[in-house]
C-alpha cells in the first residue's frame, strides 16, 4: 500500500510541476529540457519505489500512475467546471493585429516567438491577424 500512496503523491507532484512549467515550454522542448524531464522522472521513480525492485512493486506503481492519468482525464471530460484547472484554458495573445502584452508575459512568449509561429502558419505580419490563441497544447492558432 505504501507504493500506491507514493505513486499517487509522485503523480500529483509531476502533474503540478507540468502545470507550473507552462504549456509553451512543454510544446517546444529543447534537448536540455528533454534531459531534465528524464532526470525528474528518474528522481521521482527513486522516491516512489525506494529499494523495491520487485515485479509486484513495478506493477503497483505503473497501475497507480495509469489509473490516476485516466482519472484526471475522465474528471476533465465528465466535469466541465474542473477542465480549466486540469487542462488549462486557451489564451488570446493577439487581438485585431495587436499583441496582448499581459498575456504574452504571463505565458513567457516573446514577440519574436509569436512572429515565428505566424510565419510557420504562412502569416507575414501580425497586423493581418484577427486572433492568435495560445491553445492548451502549447501551440498558437491564428485566425485572419
**pLDDT, tens digit (0-9, with 9 covering 90-100), for 14-73:** 888 777 766 555 556 666 666 767 777 777 777 777 777 777 777 788 788 888 888 888
Q: Which of 40, 60, 87 is the last residue of a domain?
A: 87
Predicted TM-score (pTM) of the model is 0.66
Angle between helices 2-21 and 31-49 (to 10 degrees): 160
How far is it, in rounded angstroms, from Cα 132 to Cα 144?
9
68 and 8 in contact (C-beta within 8 Å)?
A: yes
Dig out the grid coordinates for 96 from the structure.
Answer: 485585431
- Domain boundary at 51, 70, 87, which? 87
Handedness of CA 74, 79, 80, 83 (dihedral sign): negative
Range of the domain at 104: 91-143
In this predicted model, what pLDDT tens digit does every residue of 70-107 receive, in sequence order? 888 899 899 999 988 888 889 999 999 999 999 999 98
DSSP 138: S
Amino acid at each position: 500500500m505504501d507504493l500506491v500512496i507514493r505513486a499517487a503523491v509522485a503523480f500529483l507532484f509531476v502533474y503540478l510541476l507540468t502545470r507550473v512549467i507552462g504549456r509553451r515550454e512543454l510544446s517546444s522542448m529543447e534537448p536540455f529540457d528533454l534531459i531534465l524531464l528524464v532526470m525528474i522522472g528518474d528522481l521521482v521513480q527513486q522516491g516512489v519505489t525506494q529499494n523495491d525492485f520487485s515485479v509486484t512493486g513495478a506493477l503497483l506503481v505503473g497501475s497507480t500512475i495509469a489509473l490516476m492519468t485516466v482519472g484526471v482525464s475522465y474528471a476533465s471530460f465528465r466535469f466541465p467546471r474542473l477542465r480549466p484547472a486540469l487542462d488549462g484554458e486557451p489564451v488570446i495573445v493577439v487581438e485585431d493585429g495587436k499583441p496582448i502584452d499581459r498575456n504574452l508575459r504571463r505565458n513567457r512568449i516573446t514577440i519574436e516567438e509569436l512572429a515565428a509561429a505566424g510565419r510557420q502558419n504562412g502569416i507575414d505580419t501580425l497586423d493581418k491577424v484577427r486572433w492568435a490563441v495560445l491553445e492548451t497544447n502549447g501551440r498558437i492558432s491564428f485566425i485572419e
